[in-house]
Chain A
């Protein structure tokens, strides 16, 4: 057996024994690559996600709503920071990761390429998008890479609050005026299917799944996570009087799961490939303000240099 094969075998044994892999440990090149890709994509998602919610901060309808929304967006930015740090344990810098994002080489969650059109969208995002994120991140908190798993544990604690505040907005609006109810149902109609797509393509078509499962980068499959989210969320929707926009939705008493209609994967791939309604806008915004801030970053590092020279 070559040393490479031996290392790989030991590595797999550690994974199988549920040991956490730490930055200085030996790891296969593909494990490293997959995690850099996944963690940086996750970090970018947190940061780009600040845009659709930031769109409503100035128009939040009460002092309380304003404070909650701002605090929530701030949390997301904080998640971005932890995740960039987790990815930096592989020796890539945040600046490099941002460059990859801006060059279109790194992706972020497609859900943020949909526009936030009404205040109810703040409810739908918190409840559905953060709700889906919780299902995914709870799974990732068990992943084999130590720094990522620990970042996820910290983040999951805050996601509960995000989901509740979103559900509260939806509940209040469903209890409100006819116009409010209409806004809430409309937000549900627009965000339901894209939220289901957040778990990624079906297991039969998922490109990275098998290896990721072996290395416990993912410990549960896309379809399993998606089903868990649907089972939780359908009941919550009905509880506040929202209709799930799926005519095929029905409860299967034998499996105890909600069965759902076909997902439009063409739409998913269109958005992933950059042709969703806001892909262009989100990236332009990120690049524009990044460039606007260049002189600030230069001034700060010039000042640092002067201070350390003295």
Chain B
């Protein structure tokens, strides 16, 4: 595996994760439980679109074939998207979206922190800015989980249900393929198992405070980094890419 190709793929994975998570969060626009929260969710969405754009721009530079960041975001199909399965899951209720956001942030924070030691300067630069934002996202979602766990019976039940449904997608975030091997060898990326330890520490701490327990399940689903998705991604891309696909070459 050529390091340059592996790095390109890794950037797309990071970009796609942010893009799809942001797109899901943007669905909350005008639908939040209170106005402040409507704004908080679109704010997080905006941060993630910004991170996606940075990673896409770097990917476009690496690819060096005249394709732009927008081409990468809007003209690749579901078998060319490398995001994790977690972020493409439908929003569900506010507890479900909060849980999804929490699990993703609990993964992305230690990942970005670890990438501060990357030999790739650009990756280091992008993630050093992103880590500040992701810390806030993690705090925001953690606080809500703690509120749910100590709020009403209903809120606790809703967040436990969300965890039961979403936990099956968490292993997927730590799945590695040949790209990861090449990047670990080159000192560009890290073994995602080390990120997992930190993820588990965060998750255990917050779940304890939020009275949540990790479900026992054999139904573990993976495949995002190999572009094997759930049925939901294709539908999301249809909506997201519609104008670019319907008007090829148009400038917006």
Contacts and interface: CB of A to CB of B under 8 A. Distances in A.
Instruction: Tell which of B23, B50, B250 has the most Cβ of chain A within 10 Å.
Output: B250
Contacts, number: 132
B250 A70 contact: no
B187 interface: no
Contact of B42 (A58, A65, A73, A172): A73
A72 to B, nearest CB: 10
A63 B53 contact: yes
Contacts of A232: none
Contacts of B42: 70, 73-74, 77
A171 B146 CA distance: 48
Given A63-B56, A293-B32, A293-B33, A58 B151 contact: no
Contact of A285 (B30, B36, B74, B152): B30
Contacts of A180: 247, 250
A255 interface: no
A202 B35 CA distance: 34
Nearest to A46: B35
A63 B69 contact: yes
A233 interface: no
A284 B150 CA distance: 31
A81 B244 CA distance: 35
A27 B31 CA distance: 37
Contact of B247 (A81, A84, A175, A179): A179
Contacts of A60: 243
Contacts of A177: 247, 249-250
B181 interface: no
Given A57-B26, A61-B74, A77 B46 contact: no
Interface in A251-310: 285, 289, 292-300, 302-303, 306
Contacts of A38: none
Contacts of B146: 303
Interface in B66-94: 69-70, 73-74, 93-94
A173 B94 CA distance: 37
Interface in B213-252: 239-240, 242-244, 247, 249-252
B29 interface: yes
Contacts of A61: 74, 243-244, 250, 252
A58 B236 CA distance: 9
Contact of A62 (B26, B74, B93): B74
A124 to B, nearest CB: 15
A173 B151 CA distance: 50
A296 B35 contact: no
A67 B39 contact: no
A50 B31 CA distance: 10
A29 B23 CA distance: 47
Nearest to B157: A295
B58 interface: no
A297 B147 CA distance: 10
A145 interface: no
B249 to A, nearest CB: 8
Nearest to B147: A303
A302 B151 contact: yes
B93 A292 contact: yes
Interface in B2-28: 23, 26-27
Interface of A is mostly: helix
A38 B56 CA distance: 45
B155 interface: yes
A295 B155 contact: yes
Nearest to A70: B46
Contacts of A78: 39
Contacts of A54: 29-30
A59 B239 contact: yes
Contact of B33 (A50, A71, A292): A292
Contacts of A300: 147, 151
A262 to B, nearest CB: 35
A302 B152 contact: yes
Contacts of B113: none
Contacts of B151: 298-300, 302-303
A20 interface: no
A51 B34 contact: no
A137 B250 CA distance: 35
Contacts of A179: 247, 250
A21 to B, nearest CB: 27
Give the most central of A64, A176, A285, A299: most B CB within 10 Å: A299
Interface of B: 23, 26-27, 29-39, 42-43, 45-46, 49-50, 52-53, 56, 69-70, 73-74, 93-94, 146-148, 150-152, 154-155, 158, 239-240, 242-244, 247, 249-252
Given A58-B23, A62-B252, 4 more contacts: A57-B26, A64-B53, A74-B46, A180-B250
The 4 closest A-B pairs by CB, nearest first: A293-B33, A299-B151, A299-B155, A296-B33
6 contacts: A50-B29, A59-B242, A70-B45, A70-B49, A73-B42, A77-B38
